[in-house]
Amino acid sequence: MVPDHPTSDLAGEVRRVAHLARLALPDEEIPRFARDLERILAHVRQLQELDVEGVEPTAHAMPVTNVFRADEPRPGLTREDALANAPASRAGLFLVPRILE
């Protein structure tokens, strides 16, 4: 079943989800996204009225499965190409802030 959220909870949900999605939203943006989420969820809730018992989900419209190609080496991006767009790189590597103490 779909939970029925009052708006105050939805603000909390937006914070939780924004963290999961790695979006550092400023506090003043939260109510707006909570309102939008509430309206959109109210609209999509109409799907609950349908009986989908025994209906297979469609993940892709075309029935294509298990497409294989020969496992052979082929040209790819050079290290230089791959790093060309990096905001920061050093010694042929992407540079990020320290992640281990």
Chain residues in the site for another protein (CB under 8 A): 1-3, 13-14, 16-26, 29, 33, 36-37, 39-40, 43-44, 46-48, 50, 52, 55-62, 64, 67, 69, 77, 81-82, 84-88, 94, 96-99
The DSSP 8-state label assigned to residue 52 in this structure reads -
Q: From the CB of 34, what's the least distance to another protein, in Å? A: 9
> What's the min distance (Å) between Cβ of 4 and another protein?
11
Closer residue to another protein (CB): 91 or 96: 96
DSSP line for 2-15:
-----HHHHHHHHH
Closest approach of another protein to the CB of residue 79, in Å: 11
Helix then strand then coil, % of the chain, to nearest 5: 40, 5, 55
Nearer to another protein, 50 or 91 (CB): 50
Burial pattern 67-86, b for ≥16 Cβ within 10 A else e, equals eeeeeeeeeeeeeeeebeee
